[in-house]
Amino acid sequence: MMETITSKHTLQAVPVTQVQFTDQFWTSKIEINRTKTLAQCFRQCEETNRIRNFEVAGGLNTGDFDGIFFNDSDVYKVVEGAAHILASNRDPAIETQLDQWIAKFAAAQQADGYLNTYYTLVEPDKRWTDLPVMHELYCAGHLFEAAVAHYRSTGKSSLLDIATKFADYIDSVFGPGGKSGTPGHQEIELALVKLYEVTDEKRYLDLAAFFIDQRGQSGSDYSQDHVPVRQQSEIVGHAVRAMYLYAGVADVARYTGDEDLFACMDRIWKDVTLRKMYITGGIGPSGHNEGFTVPYDLPNETAYAETCAAIGMVLWSHRMFLLHGRSEYIDVLEQSLYNGLLSGVSLDGDNFFYTNPLSSHGQHHRQPWFGCACCPTNVVRFIPQVGGYFYASTASSLWVNLYASNQATVSMGEQMVNIHQESNYPWQGWTKLTLEPDKTNDFQLCLRQPNWAKQVGLKLNGQILQITSNSNGYLEITRAWRAGDVVEVNFDMSVERIIANPQAKANNGKLALRRGPLVYCLEATDNDGSVRDIALPRNSPLKAKFEPNLLDGVVVLQGPANRRISADWGTELYKTVSLDQETQITAIPYFAWDNRESGQMAVWLPESTILTEPKLQPSIASQGRPSASHVFGQLSAAIDGILPASSADQTHPKFTWWDKKGTQEWICLTFNEPVQISESSVYWFDDTGFGECRPPESWWLEWDNSGQWQPVKNPSKYGLQLDGFNSVTFDPVTTQQLRIVVELQDNLSSGLLEWLLN
């Protein structure tokens, strides 16, 4: 049962509506979110019939339900993002668009308050019959969040009325004495708390607590339904669901003072952050369950690390801070925010990562939209909220959690304090805060000392203050503050080299680079086209340098490193070690990768070249331009000079003819000048167990003899072996074009990982 509401924890976040950025970094991201991301989301919601579903459900249009059964949630998330934008920029076009959509939501809402276009249009008799799978309560939760944001930003209650009508209906169906059941995808819990905060209707808080205590019935890890929440100690299952759940649990714990929930949160927090989180703050390594596996399982190239999960980590971290008032939670929030979350969206604001790997052979690229559009719509609603994470207060203390130039108005009990931050974060560790309390008063100013800041300088009105952070990780100054008081804080932003716990085996022998809150990576385009063959010795001096014209202005790290020389192995099995080649590297912030031409990327860098991936000795093939009868995957992968680990290497960029099956197909290399060729080596791709590619039924080589395709003469065996090169020698030809012709097996396709010519 619910305990009575306590005032034990009085930390309040300063709402986003009270914070106006004046900096470069966030101001431009929020503006791009408004002009690009939001515009794209508006368009996609219309074009994919997500809005038409509401029109049809409301009798304003005709047609059938279109799309995925939880598509309503995307529309609500876009509305929430738009509403947050309106808080600082009352853009009339956005406001009109929202008014029009809200009218459609109202039309689609049933007389009893129910609102879900899928059920209304497709299975009107099946409401609430499949809570674990069908996401009705998840969609409802996103409606509530959108409604609260819209009300707070505009003062209009048009959407809030729809939300409370639906919430009242849900409250009449579920709860003690009513229907029970566990929603498969959490969201309703935290959303009901928001609805409670804006309406003061305690039934909503009670219902949130009810849903949390329903969990533990099905035994399913996937949706954290394996044991009751109060008994949970480890993070399991789907990462986004887990984050939304624990954000809701922390909310309820904050209002109820429920000690069991506090303890449960603390156990799970330790499990995630000490054993299951990427250095980017990304979580959920596995694509299989879109979530968690075993401790220290943190593969880099196949990292799932969904953009939504990083956003969820920020949501939960912030609530953990509000429970405990300790800086460690904001450290994680900042780590996820500036790395694994921001990487989810392109600098231009209109392409998105669903997964956020820490290593790539060049096969990962952001996309404008996804059939399941959770990530773009989470980005569009999150970015304009970021100001809401900067400050918190109690009646007697003002907490500064994040740094960037901004103007904020903080209410502390009866008192108002204007605070003016000047900073060049995240590029520099210096920040100046000017305080303007409405009357001179004693209060405590708490400045978060980030965990990465090993040294800190602090001045009050120009005088050096010698204090160290308190046990909560904050630099605490208590005095009678006067208007115009100035605090300057300077956090040391040296380049740090990070190593991982040896149990995180994917990172053994490697280090990562961090400066301030930013994790760095090497990208091929800055590093002569390849990074997998680079090692960074531990003692290599690295310099930080601001590059105003690169990637919208970033601090890069530069210095000497070693590149493994690609040896000509020929037929040799062993070789004397050759010396490394010295090279200059440029590392960029991880969040900014894949905004230029595609190529390799790595966050974790080997300390020695022995751990690098050698490039193959360039063959004649690398000078050719590839073309093919049909392409799935990357044509260029066939000649990228990267040695696969095996024919089943899923992380390796690949060229395939999928979904052609049983047909004759070809891949061709065209050269600018005639070249002499007498040997060809092919590494076949095979995805048995995953897909439909196997080696072909048969294959042969043809060369272009003055416009006539002719098979090469006296070829050795055309091999079909897996896990190695199939080399064919033949009478030399001099030609500008050579091609592989394949006969695909019946009902199967083919592909190749690498093709060499000599």
Q: What whole-number distance in Å separates Cα of residue 177 and Cα of residue 182? A: 15
In the stretch 662-691, what mask flags binding to Zn ion with x, by CB under 5 A? Answer: ------------------------------
User: Shortest distance, CB of residue 145 to Zn ion, whole angstroms?
Assistant: 16
In the stretch 71-110, what mask flags binding to Zn ion with x, by CB under 5 A? Answer: ----------------------------------------
Q: Which is nearer to Zn ion, 327 or 351 (CB)?
A: 351
- The single residue of 95, 290, 334, 523 carrying the catalytic annotation is 290
Q: Which is nearer to Zn ion, 280 or 681 (CB)?
A: 280
Q: Which is nearer to Zn ion, 374 or 535 (CB)?
A: 374
Q: Which is nearer to Zn ion, 32 or 308 (CB)?
A: 308
User: Shortest distance, CB of residue 370 to Zn ion, whole angstroms?
Assistant: 8
Q: Which residue reads 């800041």 in tokens?
A: 453
User: Shortest distance, CB of residue 354 to Zn ion, whole angstroms?
Assistant: 6
Q: What is the DSSP string of 635-675?
A: GGGGGS-BPPSSTT-TTS--EE-TT--SSEEEEEEEEEEEE
Contacting range for Zn ion; rule: CB under 5 A; set: 101-109, 153-161, 367-375, 481-489:
367-375
CB 48 within 8 A of CB 71: yes
Q: What's 339's DSSP letter? A: I
CB 660 within 8 A of CB 667: no
Contacting range for Zn ion; rule: CB under 5 A; set: 226-234, 366-374, 405-413, 523-531:
366-374
CB 417 within 8 A of CB 435: yes
Contacting range for Zn ion; rule: CB under 5 A; set: 258-266, 370-378, 619-627, 687-695:
370-378
- The single residue of 41, 264, 308, 374 carrying the catalytic annotation is 374
Q: Which is nearer to Zn ion, 145 or 523 (CB)?
A: 145
68 Cβ contact partners less than 8 Å away, ≥ 6 residues apart: 371, 372
523 is catalytic: no
Q: What phi, psi does 638 have (nearest 5°)?
A: -65, -25
Q: What's 220's DSSP letter? A: B
Q: Which is nearer to Zn ion, 306 or 350 (CB)?
A: 306
Structure tokens at 317: 């971290």
**3 state DSSP class of 406:** strand
Total residues contacting Zn ion (rule CB under 5 A)?
4
Select from 722, 721, 680 the least CA-distant residue to 701.
680
User: Shortest distance, CB of residue 496 to Zn ion, whole angstroms?
Assistant: 30
User: Shortest distance, CB of residue 372 to Zn ion, whole angstroms?
Assistant: 7
Of 160, 375, 410, 522, the residue at the interface with Zn ion (CB under 5 A) is 375
Structure tokens at 373: 């559009």
DSSP collapsed to 3 states, 136-150 = HHHHHHHHHHHHHHH
545 Cβ contact partners less than 8 Å away, ≥ 6 residues apart: 555, 556, 557, 558
Select from 374, 371, 367 the least CA-distant residue to 350.
367
**Residue 374 binds to Zn ion (criterion: CB under 5 A):** yes
CB 582 within 8 A of CB 532: no
User: Shortest distance, CB of residue 517 to Zn ion, whole angstroms?
Assistant: 23
Q: How many residues does the chain have?
A: 758
**Residue 345 binds to Zn ion (criterion: CB under 5 A):** no
Amino acid at 159: L
User: Shortest distance, CB of residue 549 to Zn ion, whole angstroms?
Assistant: 32
41 is catalytic: no
Helices (H), 385-454: none
Q: Which is nearer to Zn ion, 59 or 371 (CB)?
A: 371
Q: What whole-number distance in Å separates Cα of residue 158 and Cα of residue 141? A: 17
Select from 652, 635, 634 the least CA-distant residue to 643.
652
In the stretch 179-218, what mask flags binding to Zn ion with x, by CB under 5 A? Answer: ----------------------------------------
Select from 419, 459, 460, 461 the least CA-distant residue to 437.
419
Contacting range for Zn ion; rule: CB under 5 A; set: 31-39, 61-69, 375-383, 664-672:
375-383
Residues 294-333 that bind Zn ion (CB under 5 A): 306, 308
Given strand 12-13, what is the order of strands in its sheet?
Answer: 12-13, 391-394, 397-400, 441-448, 474-481
Q: Which is nearer to Zn ion, 307 or 681 (CB)?
A: 307
Q: Which is nearer to Zn ion, 146 or 392 (CB)?
A: 146
In the stretch 416-445, what mask flags binding to Zn ion with x, by CB under 5 A? Answer: ------------------------------
C-beta nearest to Zn ion: residue: 308
User: Shortest distance, CB of residue 182 to Zn ion, whole angstroms?
Assistant: 21
Contacting range for Zn ion; rule: CB under 5 A; set: 338-346, 357-365, 372-380, 658-666:
372-380
CB 702 within 8 A of CB 694: no
User: Shortest distance, CB of residue 367 to Zn ion, whole angstroms?
Assistant: 12
Q: What's 679's DSSP letter? A: E
The residue ranges that bind Zn ion (CB under 5 A) are 306, 308, 374-375
Known catalytic residues? 290, 374
